[in-house]
């Protein structure tokens, strides 16, 4: 285990991983994580801010320590939520396969692991590193916004991924998925209000550190 981490997963049999850039983390992320926790009876949900996301190569993102601290501030009030530094501290680009393997080593041998992400990201799963091994190790929860075509999602997944793994990807409709980090960054830049789109502590952190102003 990362020597800097004190995650409480040693006796947890069902846990979720919420991966993302979290630039910034917002209510959509939190509502999605809580909905997945309730629906799938997860004992913990661990938020994992990405260090160097390969799909955002060349794009400007906020410093990883800022994104980590915003995640800690956003999740502090929920006893079922924790934040991991595993991707922040790992050198090189951040891959889901390596992160899932890391958590499988921490948790009990027969524990179940769920990877919570957006349906849009799931559509790119066939391009992810070691996707077959990844689907063997965990179940994916594909969070969708209302109106998103679940039928189309399932059809595309089955056509691109072996039907052996089709049952390892489960959709979950979450109304708050309409909130986006991209929109929040643009609103800050345009000096529009972001109140209630994210936790007040995160809003204060953004203002105090002049994030997204330029």
Residue 148, Cβ neighbours under 10 Å: how many? Answer: 17
**CB proximity list for 158: less than 8 A, separation 6 or greater:** 166
Which structural domain range is residue 139 located in? 14-208
Does 213 map to a domain?
Answer: no
pLDDT value for 139: 94
pLDDT at 52: 78
Q: Decide: pTM greater than 0.85.
A: yes
Look at residues 175, 160, 87, 84 and name the one whose alpha carbon lies nearest to residue 127.
Answer: 160
- Per the domain annotation, does 6 fall within a domain? no
Quick one: which of 74, 102, 73 has its CA closest to 5? 102
Instruction: Output phi, psi for 155, to 5 deg.
Output: -60, -45
Residue 214 in domain: no
Q: What is the count of structural domains for the chain?
A: 1
In a domain, 65, yes or no: yes
Asked if residue 58 is part of any domain, the answer here is yes
CATH code of residue 72: 3.40.50.620
> Does residue 1 lie in a domain region?
no
122-163 confidence digits (pLDDT tens): 777 667 777 888 889 999 998 987 777 767 776 766 666 666
Q: Is 59 exposed, middle or buried (0-12, 13-18, 19+ CB in 10 A)?
A: exposed
Tell me, letter by letter, the H, E, C secondary structure of the chain.
CCCCCCCCCCCCCEEEEEEECCCCCCHHHHHHHHHHHHHCCCCEEEEEECCCCHHHCCCCCCCHHHHHHHHHHHHCCCCCEEECCHHHHCCCCCCHHHHHHHHHHHCCCCCEEEEEEEHHHHCCHHHCCCHHHHHHHCEEEEEECCCCCHHHHHHHHHHHCCHHHHHHEEEEECHHHHCCHHHHHHHHHCCCCCECCECHHHHHHHHHCCCCCC
What residues of the chain score a pLDDT lower than 50?
Answer: 3-4
In a domain, 203, yes or no: yes
What is the reported pLDDT for 22?
A: 95
Position 159 scores a pLDDT of 67
Residue 41 lies in a domain: yes
């Amino acid at each position: 285990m990362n020597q800097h981490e004190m995650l409480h997963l040693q006796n947890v049999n069902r846990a979720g991983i919420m991966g993302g850039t979290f630039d910034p983390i917002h209510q959509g992320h939190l509502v999605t994580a809580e909905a997945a926790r309730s629906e799938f009876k997860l004992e913990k949900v661990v938020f994992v801010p990405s260090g160097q996301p390969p799909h955002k190569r060349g794009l400007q993102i906020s410093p990883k320590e800022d994104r980590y601290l915003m995640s800690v501030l956003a999740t502090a009030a929920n006893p079922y939520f924790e934040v991991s530094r595993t991707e922040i501290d790992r050198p090189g680009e951040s891959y889901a396969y390596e992160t899932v393997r890391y958590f499988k080593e921490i948790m009990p041998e027969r524990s179940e692991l769920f990877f919570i992400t957006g349906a849009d990201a799931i559509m790119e799963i066939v391009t992810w590193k070691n996707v077959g091994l990844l689907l063997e190790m965990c179940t994916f929860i594909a969070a969708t916004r209302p109106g998103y075509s679940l039928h189309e999602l399932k059809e595309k997944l089955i056509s691109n991924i072996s039907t052996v793994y089709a049952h390892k990807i489960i959709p979950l409709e979450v109304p708050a998925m309409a909130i986006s980090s991209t929109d929040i960054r643009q609103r800050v830049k345009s000096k529009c209000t972001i109140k209630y789109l994210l936790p007040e502590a995160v809003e204060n952190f953004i203002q105090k550190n002049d994030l997204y102003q330029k």
